Structure 1
Amino acid sequence: MTLKEIAKEAGVSVSTVSRVINQENTKAASPKVQARIWEIIRRTGYSPNKTARNLKLGQSAEHRDPDPKSIACVYARTHTDMSDPFFSQIVKALELEAIKSRYFIRYSFTSQDLGRPETAAQLTQFPADGIVVLGRYDQRIASLVSNLSKNVVYTGLIPMDFQFDQVVCDGSEIVYTAISYLKSLGHTVIGYIGEQDKEPRFSGYKEALSKLNLPFAQRNTANVHQTSEGGYEGMKMLARTCDDLSAILCANDRTAIGVLHALKKLNFRVPEDISVISIDDIDIAQYMSPMLTTVHIPTDELGKMAFKVLLDRVSGGHRMPLKTFLPYYIAKRDSCCPLNRDRRLFSTLRQQASH
């Protein structure tokens, strides 16, 4: 990859790419353009030859510009890919913040990538100055990451026990807030669609029902991947087995997209027949039909704060692990309403199907 090829893909001049890479002028391009250039560099593995540049300019060693520092992002959840809109927004905000301090994202890895020999070789040859772990991780990921860098920040919805810096929203409290809101609307039989195995949102759902004296039944839950496809299949499963739910908690907005689609296919009205609440508040949530009621997670602030904590760690500003909690709120839109006693019931749907 050459500067010319990077410039062509980014839609800017070669001189603009050069200035961004060499940090000669922070106003050479907007933050979004700079982020686009660094994303191309990360994806292609381009490595600026700073030594040659300094020799060309006749700069002595003590006056040479320091190289931009690099970050590796690890998408730790097994079923989360890099296109996940929740984590994509966090990374976008992180990258824009990083540019201000001459950092760029050199690598993006999934949890599967991290254990591969070629990944370790790549990080050994071109080590990152810090690692940001996105989403819940396990002991294997913690060990691998610890061996790669001493500068690690985790961000997500699940406070972890491992000794990394953390920037989080508390997933259990988020779920409790969502269930409490549904109860305030008169809903008492509330389902859950999302992952269940070692999933704090599911355990938080059960705990919230218990604390609020609401009934729990496994038949009112669907254990599916937290994707739109998973949500669609999960809703169809519940329609065949569940009690007469009046509300559903979706583990995230991607799941809710599939749930709303399935309910439409089943001729259930949202929210008149059933209320749907979710977690994340990705951009598309406010444009769905109906507009999705969801717990707003401050993804931009998670990304910005994760980088600031990482920067402080790299520069020696702190040694003990930090745990930072960010606030959240319910974005109340159109997919929830007070309990409707005249709503359509799943039991009626099954009776009609049996005749």
Structure 2
Amino acid sequence: MARPTLSDVARRAGLSPTAASLILNDRPSRLSEDAAERVRKAARELGYRPNMAARSLRTKSQTIGFVSDFITLAGFGGQMIHGAMQEARKTEHVLLITETEQDPLVPHAIAETGVEGSEPGDESAAINALLDRLPEGIIYATVRSQPVTVPKAARSVPVVLLNASSSAEAECSVLPDEYAGGRSIAGLLIDNNFSSGIVVIGSSQTAIHDPGSTPAVSRRLDGIFSVFDEHGITPLAQIDCPIWDAQAGYTAVKTLIDAREPLNALLCLNDRLAFGAYQALTEAGLRVPDDVSVVSFDDDPLASYLRPQLTTAALPFREMGELAVRLLLDQNAEKKEHLVPMPVQLRGSLRSQA
């Protein structure tokens, strides 16, 4: 008589082999006690005994699954992965990375070490490819901070959202503290005596709660305008830009210059807009920061190569990746948003008003 397999146990219990394996190996999962008892009962009835040789190979390196959209294609995304990998190594875990290459998260390909690919649109296949490695849990990440729906296939193990949130139910998520970051950058202008001639480039206060606006943008602008409101400051202009790139920043600032607006400070909602703003100011013979100060967000690597260097609030992606791993491995981690501070990189693009 053939030796009963894990698949036999799973079939009798009415669950997947991955779920049965998690229960029989006492691994963390979100499966009900009823499901766990069905698996144990099926194993007893069939006389199932785990393959200890295979188990020793599987458990030689503990693993953490990392599911993302197209994070390796984005410069900032590498910082999240690096932070997560560094933190995983401290606890002798291996990070297995699945990249979907689609937005919203719909699996397309698996991009790391030994994890086979999946067909486009087959999200559960990508998740199951990780679950077959018996991970401690899954980090579910996005490049663009946004609400997501965690796939059902992932819910058999602990999940931490990275640079993403869930509006459907309470989840453990890691996000940059955009509201505090917005307050920090706006506060710099106040601290340097700016009260007029301030232009916000990227989005306006009236547009931040539109359906197309992400929670990150809304919080960033809420922080900015909370400071302005406290000090009775009304920006000279608020310019909406559908795409936050250098061309949009250049066009916005050139339009202001051509209209002879009395510019004193540009508050750009990301560094790419600021890059374009620099070009428009330079073409018009205006100097940063002697004529116009510029502040921004993200801390793109190019920000420190501009002349003068750009003052900006950094997205703490490396620290976010580290925290996601710590939370995933902490069975007592609170199911809430965990916000990571956005440190201000104070550089030469800001000058105090007399």
What letter corresponds to residue 209 of structure 1 in structure 2? Answer: F
Checking the alignment, whether the CA contact within 8 Å between 1:159 and 1:170 is kept in structure 2 is no
Change (3 A) 1:228 1:162: farther
Q: Percent identity?
A: 23
Alignment counterpart, residue 141 of structure 2, candidates 127, 133, 142: 133
1:215 equivalent among 230, 234, 241:
234
Long gaps (5+) in structure 2: 1-50, 108-119, 132-136
Report the equivalent of 1:88. 78
> For the pair shown, which has the larger CA radius of gyration, 1 or 2?
2
Deviations 1:184-220 (A, max 9, x none): 2121232112245422223433333222210145x43
Q: CA deviation at 1:246?
A: 0.8
Give 1:204's aligned residue.
223
**Which of 184, 203, 208 is the matching residue for 2:191?**
184
- Does the 8 Å contact 1:231/1:257 carry over to 2? yes
**Can you list the C-alpha shifts for 1:246-287, whole angstroms capped at 9, x where unaligned?**
111121223322222232223221101110111222333222
1:159–1:330 Cα change, 3 Å? farther
Change in 2 beyond 3 A, CA 1:213/1:121: same
Alignment RMSD (CA, Å): 3.2
Pair 1:123-2:123 in alignment: no
The DSSP-based 3-state class of the residue aligned with 1:103 is strand
- Pairing 1:174–2:165 present: no
| C-alpha deviation, 1:121, in angstroms | 4.8
**1:132–1:306 Cα contact (<8 Å) kept:** no
> Do 2:174 and 2:323's aligned partners in 1 also have CA atoms closer than 8 Å?
yes
Aligned mates of 1:126, 1:99 — CA distance in 2: 21
Counterpart selection for 1:253 from 240, 256, 271: 271
User: Does the aligned pair in 2 maintain the 1:93–1:304 contact within 8 Å?
Assistant: yes
Tell me the SS of whatever aligns to 2:121.
helix
Do the aligned partners of 2:177 and 2:339 also contact (CA within 8 Å) in 1? yes
Task: Name the CA shift for 1:157/1:283 in 2 (closer, same or farther; >3 Å).
Answer: farther
Q: Cα–Cα, structure 1 residues 305 and 133, in superposed 2: closer, same or farther, change >3 Å?
A: same
One-letter identity of the residue aligned with 2:79: Q
How far 1:175 sits from its partner (Å)? 0.9
Distance 2:72 2:252 in 1: 23
Q: CA deviation at 1:147?
A: 2.4
Instruction: Name the CA distance, whole Å, in 1 between partners of 2:272 and 2:165.
Output: 18
Amino acid at match of 1:331: Q
Aligned with 1:107 (options 83, 98, 101): 98
- Normalised to the residue count of structure 1, the TM-score between the two structures is 0.65
| Letter in structure 2 aligned against 1:122 | A
CA contact (8 A) 1:72 1:131 kept: yes
Instruction: Indicate yes or no: 2:301 matched with 1:298.
Output: no
Q: Deviations over 1:77-132 (max 9, x none)?
A: xxx97543333322222233334433224212355252476241532541454133
Partner of 1:331: 345
Secondary structure in 2 aligned to 1:213? coil
Secondary structure, in 3 states, of the residue corresponding to 1:86?
helix
